[in-house]
Amino acid sequence: MTLNWQQEAAKYKDQMLADLTTLLKIDSARDVEHKTDDAPLGPGPRDALLQMLAIADRDGFTTKNIENVAGRIEAGHGDEIFGILGHMDVVPAGEGWETNPFEPVIKDGKIYARGSSDDKGPSIAAYYALKLLKDNNIELNKTVHFIIGTDEESEWVGINRYLEVEPKPDFAISPDANFPIINGEKGIVSYVATFKPVDGADGDITLISFKSGLRANMVPQTAQAVVAGTLPADFEAQFNAYLAEHKLQGSITAEGANTKINLIGKGSHAQEPKAGVNAATYLATFLADFAFDAQGGNYVGTIARLMHKDSRGHLLNINYTDDVMGDLTICPAVFNYTQDGAATVLLNVRYPKGVTDESTRETLATTLAEIADVVIDGHAQGPHYVAGNDPLVATLLQVFEDQTGLKGHEQVIGGGTYGRILERGVAFGALPEERENVMHQANEYMHIEDIMNAIAIYADAIYRLTR
């Protein structure tokens, strides 16, 4: 093929940015509290899906809407189905943004908005690759189904429903990670640890509530504790010294007769907890040095003792490493404590082959036997790996090398993409390996140059994979 993919992709920059901006303005975080019959996952995910399908309809593609939870854009012809698996939902915006997360801002060659890098930016790049091929009248000798999900950041309702009622692709890529390729993904499971009642003498301080975390797949950026009782005279001075020592931000304010303590860390994707600063475990570690009531003291003390700064699970005895897939990771992600009410911590674990969701749960349950009951929360996903000698992987790596001049190589991540839903499914881009990964963080952005390069890479890949 003599077409210069980079030159052709460059022609679409203005239109691509216009379409991407329209998508980014939609707050498409899962919102089942406001679900309706025609918006099963909330209005935002539905609206983003409809907008993406409307873009494809405008450009002359055949589309299909599956119950407002998934959609399909069609191209090519052939008995074999090549899938492109993207998603229009986003994680909640959270706090810490310097701009409105749903009013895209272009600055220094980057577009800032929630979803810019996960996954609206990469998905629009893959879409424009299909459009480039269509506009150049390039025949695709396999059927291409660009499948759009609306619940990738949570329970995969959309993609699972799609596969129940629509044909399953024979092989697929997901534009939802990094170049050069992601051909292995660790298993993903969340556990809820529900604390048991404890007896003991009450201290001078009572923990009224402790809240932190938005989703299982996010390192919590903020944490808040409300306490009652007599605080030491130098409590605020100790807190400020703690913040300064660990380069954190926080505040202490009155809340009626009680005191509210806020701490700000750094949010990040739970696949690598070291990339973030867990506000909850830092706050619990500070509070654990004070004399709390038995129940509250047990809660913050356990977090401080067994969950703080231990992303590989050594303290909870679940650490494990596989030669190919690497380390198990653990992210204490959602915290909920109320006096005389809930006392839970949700732990998000990414595990390699060699252990299972149940074997890890059993170890956690043993470690926490005197403290908490541990159950699996939601849907668990096992490890996934497509061998490097598979033609899908080999072709994609060759495309990457030809388009970038860089050496391709296999990668395994702790993140989860739609690539894992198929036996021959991988994640492919769109984030260059050398770029900072700001998915799930405040002030999420993507370099516009990277989106444009991804269009060219995806167009070449789609062409080669449909010969």
141 three-class SS: coil
Contact 446, 177 (CB under 8 A): no
Q: What does the pLDDT read at residue 447?
A: 98
Contact 86, 122 (CB under 8 A): yes
99 three-class SS: coil
pLDDT at 159 > cutoff 80: yes
d(CA 382, CA 119): 22
Is residue 245 within a helix (H) or strand (E), and if so which, with residue range?
Answer: helix 235-246
DSSP assignment of 380-414 equals EE--EE--TTSHHHHHHHHHHHHHHSSPP---EES
Is residue 380 within a helix (H) or strand (E), and if so which, with residue range?
Answer: strand 372-381
| Domain 5-186+383-465: which CATH number of 3.40.50.1010, 3.40.50.740, 3.40.630.10, 2.60.40.10 | 3.40.630.10
Contact 282, 270 (CB under 8 A): no
Identify the band that residue 207 occupies on the pLDDT scale cut at 50, 70 and 90.
Answer: very high
d(CA 104, CA 88): 16
- CA 224 from chain centre, in angstroms, equals 23
Environment class of residue 395 by beta-carbon count within 10 Å: exposed (0-12), middle (13-18) or buried (19+)? middle
442 three-class SS: coil
Retrieve residue 425's tokens: 């499914």
CATH class of 188-381: alpha beta
| Average pLDDT of span 185-203 | 92
pLDDT at 430 > cutoff 90: yes
Q: What does the pLDDT read at residue 1?
A: 61
Q: Where are the domains of the chain?
A: 5-186+383-465, 188-381
Catalytic residues: 89, 152
**Residues ≥6 apart with Cβ < 8 Å to 39:** 45, 46, 68
301 three-class SS: helix
Q: pLDDT, tens digit, for every residue of 343-401? A: 999 999 999 999 999 999 999 999 999 999 999 998 899 999 999 999 999 999 999 99
Domains 5-186+383-465 and 188-381 share a fold: no
Q: pLDDT, tens digit, for every residue of 209-245? A: 999 999 999 999 999 999 999 999 999 999 999 999 9
Q: pLDDT, tens digit, for every residue of 97-129? A: 999 999 999 999 999 999 999 999 999 999 999
Proportion of the chain above pLDDT 90, given as a percent: 95
Q: What does the pLDDT read at residue 340?
A: 87
Q: pLDDT, tens digit, for every residue of 265-292? A: 999 999 999 999 999 999 999 999 999 9
